[in-house]
Amino acid sequence: MTIPHTTRDTMSALERAGSGVWPARTSTPTVKVNDHGVVPPVEAPSPGAHLGLDDEPQGLKIALPVVGTVTLVRGMEVGLRGLRLPVGTAMEVVGTVQSVTGDVVAVADGETRLALLGEATGISGGTRVRPTLGNGQALGGELLGRVIDALGRPIDGRGPLQARHGRIDRPVPPALTRRRITKAMPVGVRVIDAFTTLARGQRVGLFAGSGVGKSTLLGMIARGAETDCVVICLVGERGREVREFLEDDLGADAARRAVVVVASSDQPAQVRVRALHYATAIAEDLADQGRDVLFLCDSLTRFALAQREVGLAAGEPPTARGFTPSVFAALPRLLERTGPRESGTVTAIYTVLVEGDDHNDPIADTVRGILDGHIVLDRRLAHLGRYPAVDPLLSISRLAAKVLPSSQLALADSARRALAAAEAVRDLVEVGAYQPGTNPDADHGLAVSPNIVELCRQGIDEITPINETFATLTQILREDSVKAAQP
């Protein structure tokens, strides 16, 4: 990564001066005893301020060593001495082949550990390391329509970006500054709009095995959602899948109102970790300008695997199924950053891989507890060609009741009960042991469920307005009651 000229110049000037430290404050801050004889507390600098993350480098006034040296290189991990910098600081390792950036991920035994964002080739013991003092990464509306990597560099071949820069490791907004969730976010996918109606500012998980139709469904949602813009984070996918998603699932029209951040599986773990932090910051920033943002992350599991890789390399102990504590620390922080904000909203959908249909792996478990709902894709439905393979009985939106008119909520409930009643007697029906007339609920369920299933089935290019979905559902449920009323 290139560092801004100002930074580079400032650094070389300092290094030339041979001091190895930033110019110290010339006068020590004086603390006076006030009228009551009390020493007022000295204000602590805000986190990150010492790195000038929000300032021009010239604004720095605190003593700071600028160069450390590499003492360890192991895989994508680098240990260094001579610099004491906090976790999260971006560093530049000046190797013989190229300069590589890395993030401080741990401090152990007096040594600072970095996770590299590029190749370790050319780094040896004694290689110099310094903080990048960058001004963060590209943010803002200029990113719409672009495909970028985890460091904010365009990868769509459409020229350089003219964007504002800002921090990507933002704090979680305080609970009471968030606006209330009041409005629905129709996504144009009938089974979701009817059975797991999303709210603006809601965060849901999309739980599924591989190849069940997650990417296709996310593409449909990105095209059909009633939102101002879409931020899509693709973490850990194979390169081929990324291209397919952009060209086939998302399509050119939806891409114009979307920012896509890509960190494919071949990239270093820390790059994949950073991609989600960065994409989250882009969504937060767009929402802070008053927009309703839809945030799609595929996949959160691959992010967790990348964070685990970084954690294990930095010496963290493996705890739940090999996942390290930093994974469980990072997930709630990241998932809390989306949601309603002071001026706009970030509605987020995170895909979670459930391999071998194990819905209880530690990541799925943790995520389910944090989010306000889950959409479950069922491989059996996919095998039956019932796409999108959402299981309406296992999926739930905890906020549907807050955003749907009571009439539509009642319709969705009746439809769900009808499906459940039909499901309960399905085995009996299949072996011919069910006698129609024994259970009125089951009879109603069996009568309407084929039409509900048909409503849920949807072509990839179809987008249905939510009112139309509920109108069809009303009709389906009414038809059976009319039939039942006839002698």
Ligand X SMILES: Nc1ncnc2c1ncn2[C@@H]1O[C@H](COP(=O)(O)OP(=O)(O)O)[C@@H](O)[C@H]1O
Q: Where is 482: in which H helix or E strand?
A: helix 466-485
**Binding of ligand X at residue 246 (CB under 6 A)?**
no
**Binding of Mg ion at residue 307 (CB under 5 A)?**
no
φ, ψ at 377 (rounded to 5°) = -95, 135
**Binding of ligand X at residue 301 (CB under 6 A)?**
no
The entry of ligand X, Mg ion, none near residue 392 (CB within 5 to 8 angstroms by kind) is: none
**Binding of ligand X at residue 208 (CB under 6 A)?**
yes
| Size of residue set near ligand X by CB under 6 A | 11
**Binding of Mg ion at residue 99 (CB under 5 A)?**
no
**Binding of Mg ion at residue 215 (CB under 5 A)?**
yes
**Binding of ligand X at residue 388 (CB under 6 A)?**
yes
Report the phi/psi class of residue 427: left, alpha or beta, with left for phi > 0 and alpha for psi in -120 to 50. Answer: alpha
DSSP symbol at 338:
S
**Binding of Mg ion at residue 132 (CB under 5 A)?**
no
Contacting range for Mg ion; rule: CB under 5 A; set: 1-9, 215-223, 287-295, 454-462: 215-223
**Binding of ligand X at residue 259 (CB under 6 A)?**
no
Contacting range for Mg ion; rule: CB under 5 A; set: 34-42, 129-137, 213-221, 451-459: 213-221
Tell the residue number behind the tokens 């300008």, with chain if given. 289
Shortest spacing between CB 401 and ligand X, in angstroms: 28
Contacting range for ligand X; rule: CB under 6 A; set: 211-219, 313-321, 395-403, 465-473: 211-219
Q: Which is nearer to Mg ion, 112 or 351 (CB)?
A: 351
**Binding of ligand X at residue 214 (CB under 6 A)?**
yes
- Contact between 444 and 480 under an 8 Å Cβ cutoff? The reply is yes
Q: Which is nearer to Mg ion, 22 or 350 (CB)?
A: 350
Residue 384: which residues within 8 A CB-CB, separation 6 or more? Answer: none
For residue 166, which amino acid is it? G
**CB contact burial 235-244 (16+ within 10 A = b; e otherwise):** bbbeeebbeb
- Contact between 234 and 278 under an 8 Å Cβ cutoff? The reply is no
Q: DSSP letters along 222-244, please?
A: HHH---SEEEEEEES--HHHHHH
Shortest spacing between CB 114 and ligand X, in angstroms: 33
Shortest spacing between CB 216 and ligand X, in angstroms: 3
Q: Which residue is nearest to Mg ion (CB)?
A: 215
The entry of ligand X, Mg ion, none near residue 394 (CB within 5 to 8 angstroms by kind) is: none
Tell the residue number behind the tokens 């400032």, with chain if given. 10
Q: Which is nearer to Mg ion, 239 or 436 (CB)?
A: 239
Beta strands in 304-383 (DSSP E): 339-340, 345-353, 373-376
How far CA 377 is from CA of 133, 339, 359, 390, in Å, comes to: 44, 23, 11, 4
**Binding of ligand X at residue 216 (CB under 6 A)?**
yes
How far, in Å, CA of 428 to CA of 437, rounded?
14
**Binding of ligand X at residue 213 (CB under 6 A)?**
yes
**Binding of ligand X at residue 464 (CB under 6 A)?**
no
- Contact between 317 and 324 under an 8 Å Cβ cutoff? The reply is yes
**Binding of ligand X at residue 291 (CB under 6 A)?**
no
Shortest spacing between CB 147 and ligand X, in angstroms: 18
Q: Which candidate, 264, 263, 184, 187, places its Cα nearest to that of 219? A: 187
Q: Which residues bind Mg ion (CB under 5 A)?
A: 214-215
Q: Which residues bind ligand X (CB under 6 A)?
A: 208, 210-216, 387-388, 460
